[in-house]
Amino acid sequence: MSNKTIPNVKGKSITDKRPQGWKAKRLGDLVNIISGNSPDKQSLHLKGIYPYLKVEDLNNNSKYQKTSREYTDLEKNLIPEYSIIFPKRGAAILNNKVRISKVKAQIDSNLMAIFPLDEQLDSEFLYYKISQIELYKIADTSTIPQINNKHIIPYKVLLPPISEQQSIVKILASWDEALSITQNLISALQNRNKGLMQQLLTGKRRIPAFAKKKWRKLAANEVFKSISNKNTDGEILLSATQDKGIIPRTMLEARVTMPTGDVNSFKLVERGDFVISLRSFQGGIEYSEYRGIVSPAYTVLKPKREISPRFYKHYFKSYDFIGHLAVAVIGIRDGKQVSYEDFSMIKLPHPSLEEQDTIASVLDDASREIEYYKSKLEYLQQQKKYLMQKLLTGEVRVKTPEPAA
């Protein structure tokens, strides 16, 4: 690598450790820049020839963009196929929403597009390069984040020869394909899991060994009682989460404010208890694997009879239960805590304990399979991030096809 000093976009000096054969170029010398527009509302329709892309449309894809919520038949102000599109203002810049338009399209005034001036720059390489740089590093973030031509034109990038660009694109595209396959599999498994829950937790589908045994329906207050045991010294603080249940506050990823005053009024939760933590009916009833204390605003539930906690942990997340709860609390002021009285008269399925355990085991296995593929997805994402850092900076070089004789 050669060492040279070149000015960056903000006028300071940066060290250019340039790989052999790579060149430092201004983005303004490599791309055309197109800003979005605001067409007449009457020209936009639910169906049409060209997508009219807005920032929210970028949420539906991770790389290629070819659909939108609105369409137009107008042929003016179109961006070419394989343009790189991204937000030009607002928080979406910080989220690094960069996409490739697979079709000709119009873009609204909160988006901008760039596309190569000639065949010495590969569109997909440009997509990966902008994604790896991250939009906020190009943008003015002193107040409201924004990107304009004055930020794009002088920004310096290191560019390999076109053959190496294309080789890098092939490698990264293979990771994109693996990520897409894994994400689609997770979505399919999640849909399967919803179907299993709906059928197994309501008795619509029975485990063959228990098919002849009838299910009982019991009022919730026949299965659970509300308890208000107060805090004792030394108990850990617990928090309610919709994806992990009741967990110690120290396990929360986000920064939380710990209470500094008297916590003697906090309620004791023991392992195996449930907590009504939802407001209105937007959340759930959460299961606790931990002993600790929760806010006195929460309702702590303890089983009155022998049950499989795992069965009811799944049931309280099912559409069937949430639908019944919605009916029970209809008319409740949004934001008010759901009370034990609201919950107590809801009819709960109560199969035999053995069948509860068996159903819970089936659903636990299904959930573990989803978690396995989520871990695999996260691993692939980390691998891709590492590869992008190495390949797009020239730190790791790739072999390129030999030119034809």
Residues of the chain with pLDDT under 70: 1-17, 254-261, 278-283, 330-337, 402-405
pLDDT of residue 263: 82
Output the pLDDT for position 260. Answer: 58
Asked if 101 contacts 74 with a C-beta cutoff of 8 angstroms, the reply is no
Task: Give the type of residue at 192.
Answer: R
**pTM attached to this predicted model:** 0.82
Q: Report pLDDT for 283.
A: 56
H or E segment and range at residue 52: strand 50-53
Tell me, rounded to whole angstroms, the distance of Cα 279 from its chain centroid.
Answer: 23
Cβ density class 6-29: b for 16+ within 10 Å, e for less: eeebeeeeeebebbeebeeeebbe
Q: For domain 2-160, which architecture applies?
A: Alpha-Beta Complex (3.90)
Distance CA 259, CA 237 (A): 9
Query: How many CB atoms neighbour CB 358 within 10 A?
Result: 18
- Which residues, in sequence order, are bridge partners of residue 14? 6
Sorted by where each begins, the domain ranges of the chain are 2-160, 161-211+353-391, 216-350
Pairwise CA distance, residues 33 & 51, whole Å: 19
d(CA 211, CA 23): 71
**What per-residue confidence (pLDDT) applies to 7?**
43
Supply the pLDDT for residue 4: 46
Assigned CATH for 161-211+353-391? 1.10.287.1120
52-88 pLDDT, tens per residue?
A: 999 999 998 889 999 999 999 999 899 999 999 999 9
The Cα 83–Cα 34 span in angstroms is 10
Q: What is the DSSP letter of 27?
A: G
**Are 122 and 165 within 8 A, CB to CB?**
yes
Superfamily of domain 216-350: DNA methylase specificity domains (3.90.220.20)
The reported pLDDT for the residue numbered 215 is: 95
CA distance 142 to 133: 18
The pLDDT of residue 12: 35
Do the domains 216-350 and 161-211+353-391 match in fold?
no
What pLDDT, on the 0 to 100 scale, is given for residue 6? 40
- What gap in Å lies between CA 86 and CA 79, rounded to an integer? 13
